[in-house]
Chain A
């Protein structure tokens, strides 16, 4: 895939929708496109993280280690991003992400991420929206759990 095709592809991802074409080209040129085979890990819980991934193609599972073994907590589809917590908060990876099928990602390093966020507030808003959404999902799940325990 050539750089220009890649820019077109990135433009369809909501996270980057508001970014101008030339910046998107820089993003495409400087960020690595990584392909993961089914079963390969994008990141492992507990490792230090230095990058986030945008899923360009394919799908992945988010798994958390529990005493009973890995527990699947979410699924990632095309256009979704993952791994932002480790680079935002400087904490080890909070979950393991495993490719479910052959998955192509855009790997955005910590440096690039902060640069983008600073330059394109629009992107920050987009990320906040997603994070808020995830928080809401978690709250919902907690309420469900509490309800289950009471019963």
Chain B
């Protein structure tokens, strides 16, 4: 990238800059014309100079003048014709003439405005395009950073640079060339005018200007240094804040929050000093600028006056000079401002570019899309004399070996003895410093990244998951390049074409994010459906099938988009409910039914009888819901609710009175928080004193009513909801269902899939009955049984693939993340599978099982596996032992484990 912002801008915007300049020149012509019109209106139209006049000096009625006559004046030195007559104009009387001139004035105003708008639009577009180009180029560079560089940079700092620090550049780029030309021209004209009037006064103006131009940049130097510091400290602050967020757990565990506070406060203090100093200096410069600008008229009066007195300058000339000088400072000031801004953005630019220019950046050609499908990588592997470093630490020291293209190879040895380095080199995460790595007859260094990315599967010790679904995370390994263009409708097509032409102008790539990026063909499947099958087939090998199935049970689907799945789940519901005839199962589930009160569900849930799609209708917020309260009023249920609330309050006061606040029972069992209990005690006593529920005040009523909503008859067993009340609540349920706004609640319907509820709830269509031992496990097993009978377990697991893994996969545990990483590597059916200790987070038994299953899947295809436990190497065709970066033994496991050999030592050490 260019070191100078100006050269960078000029290279990419030359034609645009020229066209803007051209328009500015054109605009000046119209501007000059518009300045002349007011004079014509006053003199010719209003004062009537253009018309014949009567004795009172009024224009004679019927007298006309020609509007819009066009004469081009010819300067005397070309011809003495005076002017060339082009258009006679339209004869008009005084008032129409005034109207015509005024309209012309309006037209000029609009034209000038239009010019300004056009110029600003063009400048803005140019600036935004450059900003887009710059941001893209910076990101492109991030993609090409050598891996080691990522250890040195902080992600928050990189993000601030791309996002914030280059932003002011966009605004400036539009003005980068136009502004100085424009303002400089204006200033030069004024100065020239002054010199023509009086040489000496001109020299005074030039003198003062040169002081301005000479001194101010010197004063600015410190300002620039400060500006640099300000940018750097602010960026580091962003980095430190990100660190504090990332390290929150350790900060809490070590109680170092105050240390962090001290550090941030210290930084803020430094930033304050820098910013304040900057502010002071900026205003000092401003003050000086103004002072110099104001001294010039002083000198003009003094020197100009003296010249006038001594007769060397006429008074008119002096007045004209002073008037012309008025036009000189604003452009100069703006020019100085522009210069300030220029240096500011130049610093920002340099600072950013510096950070994005590490050594050993990847050659862009290595990442360019390939015209043909990538070639196979199954020609065997050869390392000769390969050394690699990580900072100053030696990873590999002249390692050499040869492997054939389909064998299963285990790499063993002490940690950091070289086995990991080989895996990293093959995955191209570490570049060999010396020696040669050959895959087939190709040198690995020269192979396009896409070729290895597509044909090699790599699973490292930690897998980064993007905050998308499990499925998309697995398919991430198949998105090297576009495979089929996106399909657009006619309208979108045009929009897309405009998008691409704009991308081209801003130097952005012409990749289409909506295109089909997944290489189904390389994975050996025909499309998404078959791909899902492939993934589901792979899950058992990494023992992830059960987890994904459970995620599926907790997942939701859109029955319109997946009618088949919804229908199948409805079938499972029917099947499960058929089994309710078995009393053992009936004892576990209380099914939903429109005309029955569900005792194992809260009062609120019974009223709602559905899944809330809007937060206002969530069961815990129902007591505040206006619509619900209105329905209760209509159904004459308010008194009942207040009474239930009163009894709950009474019981709670009685039961929990002696418990210390903060006792876990409050959270687990009480309807009333510990801190509210005294208030309720007073309330209960007051109500008892007043002789009954009729005299409860409005405020108390609302608080008591709210207690009734979470009450679950089967769980709390206070006997508050009897048959009569159940009947009334069922009526209220009906009334509420009719009053509900569209889409707020997905009402339970025996015959309909509930799109707001999870698959499990849809199958269950009822509530677990309280007090049944291991009810959840038994129901889980039962649902599994039903799904197995309908052969639907995989369908549910398919829904589980939609599970969003959360930020960096944090909604999954470490083992699950690693397993997804393995599936990501396996799903592309790579020519070479490289596993770098990817199963280390699993327990020993699971490690061995996973390894066996994966090796079975990979029969006939190459596997290179860096193992942390040498004993596992017995399942491989060949074993390579590495220590201190060197290959110390190579061969079959049986052969190598003979007593006294290096492998025997490793095994003994385990």
Contacts from A to B (Cβ < 8 Å):
1-4, 6, 22, 25-26, 28-30, 32-37, 40, 42, 111
Contact = CB atoms under 8 A, between A and B. Distances in A.
Contacts of A30: 665, 668-669
23 contacts: A1-B717, A2-B719, A3-B717, A3-B718, A4-B719, A6-B717, A25-B655, A26-B655, A26-B656, A26-B665, A28-B717, A32-B771, A34-B772, A34-B773, A35-B587, A35-B771, A35-B772, A35-B773, A36-B773, A37-B587, A37-B773, A40-B773, A40-B774
A36 B775 CA distance: 10
Contacts of B669: 29-30
B654 interface: yes
A109 to B, nearest CB: 10
Contacts of B656: 26
A37 B716 CA distance: 22
Interface in B852-869: none
A6 B717 CA distance: 9
A101 to B, nearest CB: 13
- Chain B contact-residue range equals 10 to 19
A40 B773 CA distance: 8
Contacts of B718: 2-3
Nearest to B656: A26
Interface of B: 584, 587, 651, 654-656, 664-665, 668-669, 716-719, 770-774
B654 A22 contact: yes
A22 B650 CA distance: 12
Contacts of A33: 771
Contact of B655 (A1, A22, A111): A22
Nearest to B655: A26
A25 B651 CA distance: 9
Contacts of A25: 654-655
B713 to A, nearest CB: 10
Given A40-B773, A111-B664, A29 B655 contact: yes
B652 to A, nearest CB: 9
Contacts of B716: 3, 29
A40 B587 CA distance: 14
Contacts of B772: 34-35
A108 B665 CA distance: 13
Contacts of B587: 35, 37
Given A2-B718, A30-B668, A35-B587, 14 more contacts: A2-B719, A3-B716, A3-B718, A25-B654, A25-B655, A26-B655, A26-B665, A29-B651, A30-B669, A35-B773, A37-B584, A37-B587, A40-B774, A111-B664
A111 B651 CA distance: 22
B771 A34 contact: yes
A35 B772 CA distance: 5
B848 to A, nearest CB: 24
A34 B775 CA distance: 10
Nearest to A32: B771
7 nearest A-B pairs in the assembled complex, by CB-CB distance: A2-B719, A3-B717, A33-B771, A36-B773, A26-B655, A34-B773, A30-B669
A17 B893 CA distance: 71
Contacts of B771: 32-35
Contacts of A36: 773
Nearest to A31: B669
A23 to B, nearest CB: 9
Contacts of B717: 1-3, 6, 28-29
Contacts of A2: 717-719
A29 B716 CA distance: 7
Best-surrounded residue of A4, A25, A26 (most CB of chain B within 10 A): A26
B772 to A, nearest CB: 6
Contacts of B664: 111
B854 to A, nearest CB: 33
A113 B772 CA distance: 21
Contacts of A29: 651, 655, 669, 716-717
A83 to B, nearest CB: 13
Given A33-B771, A35-B771, A35-B772, A3 B665 contact: no
Which residue of A22, A29, A32, A40 has the most chain B CB atoms within 10 A of its CB atom?
A29
Q: Taking each of B654, B656, B773, which has the highest tally of chain A beta carbons within 10 Å of its own beta carbon?
A: B773
A1 B774 CA distance: 20
A106 B763 CA distance: 31
Contacts of A37: 584, 587, 773
Nearest to B657: A22
B648 to A, nearest CB: 11
Nearest to B652: A29
Contacts of B719: 2-4
Nearest to A112: B665
B865 to A, nearest CB: 36
Contacts of B668: 30
